[in-house]
Amino acid sequence: MNDWSHHLIIAPILIPLMAAALLLFFDERKRTLKAMISLASTAILLLVALLLFRIESAPHSFEGVYLLGNWAAPFGIVLVLDGLSALMLLLAALLAIATLVFSLARWHAVGAHFHSMFQILLVGLNGAFLTGDLFNLFVFFEVMLAASYGLMLHGSGPLRVKAGMHYIAVNLVAALFFLIGVSLIYGTTGTLNMADLAARIPQIEPDRRMLMEAGAGVLGVAFLIKAGMWPLCFWLPTAYSAASAPVAGIFAILSKLGIYVILRLTMLLFSDGPSAGFGSDVLLFGGMATLVFGTIGVLASQALGRLAGYSVLVSSGTMLMVLGISEGTVSSGALLYLISSTFTLSAFFMLIELVERGQDAGANVLAVTMEAYGEGEDSPEDDEDGVTMPGTLAILGTCFAACGILLSGLPPLSGFISKFAMLSAMMGTGAIGTPPDGAIWTLIVLVILSGVASLIAMTRVGIRTFWSSLEGTVPRVLVIELVPVMFLLSLTLSLTIQAGPAMRYMDTTIRTLSTPSIYIDAVRNATVVEGWKAKSQEASP
């Protein structure tokens, strides 16, 4: 990286942070101005994420280490950009621009400080993807959670407030586990820098190793709660289905943050040495249980919101199972599945809000219980301004069908390609025999059955929604609301067309993660800027 591009590493944190601070200076009555500032910040963030992704995709040596304060690791704060973090930054930026545009139609005006909380959420997400030490991972994790609490409650309503209180309580417990786990790891290793931890863990004495692994287990619980692993996932379907549509859309990536951290830490800290494979059985069998639970929930769901919430668990369960296998080619397909499913789920959450506008209350009450339907929930009034989308039902039906195909893993879209890559790798490239063969074949069957269950559920709900409506009311949908949904679904189409280059990028990313020495050497050998250091010493008395 040259000098200017090297400083771009910190930009995904600074851009939304400055925007959030600027937005606080304006009164809530200036919603248009605040919306334009937030939209401009998110657009710039997307451009930066694209630049970082392009830089990281180019063939070059690993140089994406940024020393904050010009202090060498492990004593100073360090940000690290590699293939995985660049991919997650781009994913977050794409979801952010889509959900923010969707919210501008109505949802951003139903509560205070929506745009500030949205930008702070991006600060926490981007910081968690970039940080190179566990302490700052905790800091960014808390920043993200604090913003998500406000966004979860945005729009009020009895069901949303009730689900929001549960969401806050569960995530506060997760944060407590996080802090306890980090404390135990620091007490046994004397460091929280990830690269330094990876170098020290193989050398830890057996008596301290048990305490360190206990700390890693407690830390893992915090992220398994966020990822939604059974039985820690009881809160997720209700919370995600109760959140407003754009909030649920951006929340689709929050569960993937838990997956990201687990993938990062397991492949960096526990890839070799006496602790190699630590927690893999928990991820494998816990992922299976999560997939079974999510599949049952998908089949049992009558409300679209709960169907989407349980689909998040299906996605998380699939990812956790693959992480438990710890086999490179399977993980490559899982990364593509992570991207595809996140785009799909975000688009589906926003699409649900548009589809349900045309359903009469009587049909919904017959379809679901009053609690699941959320009787008494406050919704923003229809905005008479803006351009409505012509051919609304045809477009909504097409988008719904695309979501069904993607969630089910049917050809030809990216959901099928990613699942095919995972299953073919399990059956043909050596994964069978790494865990017990019975577990692998059970995993294969569960992945297939979960797709069949999603197809059945989406077909049933689609027939009831588009073909058997009691009144056949055409919902009033604005262009600004439907374009973000179509944008995210078009990204899955791009993944389908560019499946070859996408899989090559995923393979390269997994190979880099599977060689921790690349990460460790890059961070430990990162040098301070001598010219700046000399000037600072001259300026000091």
DSSP 8-59: GGGHHHHHHHHHHHHHTTS-TT-HHHHHHHHHHHHHHHHHHHHHHHHHHHSS
Cα torsion angle, 395, 396, 398, 402, sign: positive
pLDDT for the residue numbered 423 = 84
pLDDT for the residue numbered 267 = 86
Tokens linked to 459: 């077909």
The domain spans of the chain are 3-356+388-524
Mean pLDDT of all residues in 75-92:
89
Indicate the average pLDDT of the chain.
83
Higher pLDDT, 297 or 277: 297
User: Is residue 157 scored above 90 in pLDDT?
Assistant: no
pTM: 0.88
Kindly report the backbone phi and psi dihedral angles of residue 190, in degrees, each rounded to the nearest multiple of 5, phi listed first: 80, 15
Mean pLDDT of all residues in 525-541:
58
Q: What is the pLDDT of residues 194-240, one digit of tens each?
A: 888 888 888 888 888 888 888 888 998 999 998 889 888 888 898 99
CB 109 within 8 A of CB 246: no
**DSSP strand E in 243-391: where?**
none
Q: Which of 34-48, 427-441, 468-482 has the lowest mean pLDDT?
A: 427-441
pLDDT for the residue numbered 101 = 93
pLDDT for the residue numbered 536 = 47
Give CA–CA dist 168/107, Å, rounded: 21
pLDDT for the residue numbered 43 = 95
pLDDT for the residue numbered 47 = 95
Q: What is the pLDDT of residues 322-360, one digit of tens each?
A: 888 766 556 788 899 999 999 999 999 999 988 887 665
